[in-house]
Structure 1
Amino acid sequence: MPALSTNGERSTATPVRSFAVASDRKLPKAAAMLAQEIRAKILGYGLEPGTALPSEPELIEQSGLGRASVREAIRLLEAQGLVVIKRGSHGGIFVAQPDLSSLSHGIAPVLTLSKAPLRDLTTYRKMVEPPAAGLAASIASKEDKCSLLKLAEHGSMPGYNNEVAFHERVAELADNLLLRVLVMVPHDLLREHLRSESIDDSVVDEANNAHMAIAKAIVAGDSARATRAMMKHLEAFEERMGRAGRLERPIVPQEQWLRDVPEGFGSVMTGWH
């Protein structure tokens, strides 16, 4: 598959193979095969985000597939967070910037179907986030530690976004991509779980105080204290969810998906439940 470098020049990479099929009945399989080919070359050649890929007509010509199959392949790659489509005179198909939130989107349906309770998520957080705080205290630079302290001093605004920002910043300071992923995914899920929750001032104050304790321990380079402070914060959150009777509720409840049904499609759902 000829690829474009970030400066817009085509490379001499091998074109995609032909996946021509005899009938539309094989379209899903053909599209999946083409998507697999393109994915392999994006990752195997290490194409940088923003790299332009062959256009739709070029992919049709190279693969021998019809427009519908090629478009389905591109949609599959979009859903996987590997490509982005840009419109306009400078548009086309481009390698996407890595987006860690796509991981939570992928796991959310599994959690709904399995009815995984919120208790599973709070237990998971206690296993992952305290060590992340301890690691951040040990290895983060003075400049990064100060940025975390400023974030804690700013305090939490209404809603869950500032809570997420603080915890994700702690994970960033741990300087371990896998650990950062392990922290970010549950927070993306919690953001949706709690987006309709009314948070009173006492809860915000409690979170602010906990964040300051964690940040000060990290700034001091005290790994053990940072670990304990994070654990105490997470246990307080778990206790609050327990008092509210939410720990046995699903992490991603069924009704959450119904909120996302586009307006005008309600009649399609008739008789589905």
Structure 2
Amino acid sequence: MRVAEAIKDWVVEQGLHPGDRLPGEAELIARFRMSKGTIREAMRILQAQGLVETKTGPGGGSFVGAVSKDRAHALLANYFYFRNITIADIYQVRIALEPELAATLAGRLSPEQVAELRAIMARYAEPAVDAEEERAQHVDSLAFHARLAEFAGNAMLGFFIGFMAQILADLTVYKRLYTSPNHELWERGRGHQIELLAALERGDGAAARRVMASHMEMARALMEDQEAVVMKRFIG
């Protein structure tokens, strides 16, 4: 692991970027003064982390890799897998982050970004007719929040809000939440998003923060109810 970290540090010092070729094995052995077995193990560790890619054939070799957002989300989800994270835990973070995100984006979205958010909302423009469509609409609604976070230009904020949206989407699908459509909640949730976009377009940060906070509180109550349904399903 120490040699793998040294190679990572060297990549940063050299200003290498994803896709750039790494030195061959012989050069790495000479540069880091380590045995062939140690260098190979370090490269295997970096490959497992997604930081090194190996290509075979003409023009092959080892190259700097880029860890995708989806892979990073999956690795982080594995970290939390046995830690009994609850809906309350997730929403404590969402309530802290997303209203402030909304306030900072007021008046800063381009027409193209607003159009993209409206296109996401068009996926659930009508109330669901069955449980399967209800779940799909909930996942699309979470995609709205993840995309909004990406517009902030803050990679860390976008990553964590997107991660929480992905966790909730996975729970919706794999735990088969929402056993029947709820038109009242659909109308309230969609109404919040319409109000939010209007506040963002007119540059009203205070209104954007207020609407997002109200939306998060409603979503928390909804998801906690669904969590209770799942627990009852397994216990009962």
TM-score bin (small chain): 0.7 to 0.9
**TM-superposed deviation, 1:124:** 0.6
1:232 aligns with 2:214: yes
Match of 2:199 among 200, 214, 217: 217
Residue segments in structure 2 that go unaligned for 5+ positions in a row: 126-132, 232-236
State the shift of 1:132 in Å.
0.8
**Cα shift at 1:234:** 1.9
* 2:129 counterpart residue number: none
- Cα distance between partner residues in 1 of 2:207 and 2:222: 23
The structure with the greater share of residues assigned to helix is: 2
Aligned to 1:83: 52
RMSD: 3.1
Q: How many residues get paired? A: 217
What is the deviation of 1:36? 1.0
**2:21 match: secondary structure:** coil
Q: From the superposition, tell whether residues 50 and 178 of structure 1 become closer, same or farther in structure 2 (CA, over 3 Å).
A: same
Deviation at 1:222, TM superposition (A): 2.1
**Following superposition of structure 1 onto structure 2, how do residues 179-198 of structure 1 map, counting pairs within 5 Å?**
179-196=157-174, 197-198=176-177
2:36 corresponds to which of 63, 66, 83: 66
Deviations 1:170-228 (A, max 9, x none): 11222222221231222233233333124444379444444333223222322222222
Percentage identity across paired residues of the two chains: 27
8 Å CA contact retained: 2:19, 2:65? yes
* CA pair 151-241 structure 1, distance change in 2 beyond 3 A: closer
2:154 aligned with 1:172: no
Query: Partners of 1:33 and 1:132 in 2: how far apart?
Result: 38
Q: Which residue of 1 aligns with 2:234?
A: none
Q: Indicate whether 1:49 and 2:18 are aligned.
A: yes
CA contact (8 A) 2:107 2:202 kept: no
Q: 1:147 aligns with which of 116, 137, 141?
A: 116
Answer yes or no: is the 8 Å Cα contact 1:125–1:183 preserved in 2: yes
Mapped partners of 2:219, 2:98: distance in 1: 13
Unmatched segments (≥5 aa) in structure 1: 1-31, 250-273
In structure 2, what is the Cα distance between the partners aligned to 1:184 and 1:193? 14
Kept after mapping to 2: 8 A contact 1:149/1:216: no
| Structure 2 counterpart of 1:163 | 141
Hey, what's the Cα distance between the residues in 1 that align with 2:142 and 2:25? 38
What is aligned with 1:25?
none
Shift of 1:127: 0.5
**Matches of 2:124 and 2:54, distance apart in 1:** 37
Q: How far, CA to CA, are the matches of 2:216 and 2:69 in structure 1?
A: 22
Comparing 217-226 and 238-247, the one that deviates more: 238-247
Contact 2:149 2:161 in 1 (8 A): yes
Cα drift, residue 155 of structure 1 = 3.1
Is the 1:149–1:219 contact (alpha carbons within 8 Å) kept by the matching residues of 2?
no
Distance 1:149 1:226 in 2: 16
Greater Cα offset, 199-208 or 85-94: 199-208
Name the residue aligned to 1:271. Answer: none
